[in-house]
A and B are shown apart, each in its own frame.
Chain A
């Protein structure tokens, strides 16, 4: 689990990059493994001390982002979760499509609306290796 050093590695300005060495969860997914992904995300979010509602919201957000990658992107991808002292970060990368087609249409909704509703904020990056979305959730005071 990330501690203070995680915060240094991933401040608000560079939330698109998972801090090496401080990732609580790093799991690949495809259409058949979304259930396992949700279970893993929920377990890690609960361990980070989030409320029952916040655990559900983080899980729902991770699912929507992963489902976008499955349906509109490469068909599979990777979810990373990490925390610093203020936020839990949930990052989904679709790994790019094998045939070099355009990145999945993150701007068009497809559950992104829901992620936007439940997350503190959201960043989207389209790169040569695929699309990366990072949602940030405020950790509640202990």
Chain B
């Protein structure tokens, strides 16, 4: 099936073989967390293969996923690709498809109603023998998923994989997944955040980007549930945009809790507009993500 259909990560169902291209770690973690969260909530088994090791579970936990308890219960596994997709530093498409088919089977045997597998494909950027079999592996996934209740989310770093490789694997996926983006430019990115739900604003914001900001905030106000405005990577916001965000936070707080997460030097701008101590509004000033 051609991969020209795009979907939100929260809309994925069984038998889907989706392709997620990401441009930054935050986007990868956010979308994977949503994929894992929805899978765990539905009682499915969830596996995430990535080079991150133990840090992966911590990234999920940071985004509200009960990673530790799910891992203890055998419902969630985070692991490196070695020993699963790879044998040492060698890749064989048939063996990798075989591993996946085995996971589908064992999840079913363990009584899970389905399986979700997220695969960070950055291992293929390393000098791995047999990496030329990657497109054949992607094609083989369809067979492994056929008739199952499993879904696979392949994750490609769009800045590091060359366009030829991305194009050669794209056709094997049934769907493409990306964060809904309101604005993407060299200085500013405004996009949906999926785990926890909200919007993410990164870079530098001033009145010249008022339009996409207004659009993103208007959507955030309409979210059904608690909302996070994640500004952890927002280095600057001018007075006008600070006020727009503050006004949206007050609007959201009338029906749901809203968290404004920002850098310590940005927080006083919101405090000056009276956002501290407002019921339903949590202003979190913190370094890092």
Contact = CB atoms under 8 A, between A and B. Distances in A.
A63 B272 contact: no
Given A63-B238, A111-B238, A111-B239, A117 B272 contact: yes
B187 A56 contact: no
Mostly, the A contact residues are helix
A52 B238 contact: no
A111 B272 CA distance: 13
Nearest to A63: B238
Contact of B208 (A31, A55, A59): A31
Interface in A42-61: 52-53, 55-57, 59-60
B268 A64 contact: no
B236 A59 contact: yes
A8 B96 CA distance: 75
Contacts of B240: 111
A55 B236 CA distance: 11
A75 B242 CA distance: 23
Contacts of A71: 207
A135 B187 CA distance: 27
A54 to B, nearest CB: 9
B236 A63 contact: yes
Given A52-B265, A53-B264, A60-B269, A67 B238 contact: yes
A35 B187 contact: yes
A60 B265 CA distance: 11
Interface residues of A, number: 19
Interface string A30-48: 0100110010000000000
Nearest to B238: A63
A67 B268 CA distance: 20
B266 interface: yes
A31 B206 CA distance: 11
B265 A67 contact: no
Contacts of B266: 56
Given A35-B187, A53-B264, A53-B268, A113 B239 contact: yes
A23 to B, nearest CB: 23
B59 interface: no
B207 A60 contact: no
A75 B187 CA distance: 21
A53 B272 contact: no
Nearest to A115: B239
Contact of B265 (A38, A53, A111): A53
Given A63-B236, A113-B239, A38 B268 contact: no
B139 interface: no
B204 interface: yes
A114 B270 CA distance: 11
Contacts of A113: 239
B23 to A, nearest CB: 20
Contacts of B208: 31, 34
Max chain A CB contacts within 10 Å: which of B239, B264, B272? B239
A38 B269 CA distance: 17
A17 B2 CA distance: 66
Q: Which of A52, A56, A113 has its CB near the most chain B CB atoms (within 10 A)?
A: A56
Contacts of A55: 265
Interface of A: 31, 34-35, 38, 52-53, 55-57, 59-60, 63-64, 67, 71, 111, 113-114, 117
17 contacts: A31-B208, A35-B204, A52-B265, A53-B265, A56-B266, A57-B265, A60-B236, A60-B238, A60-B239, A60-B269, A63-B236, A63-B238, A64-B238, A64-B239, A67-B207, A111-B240, A114-B239
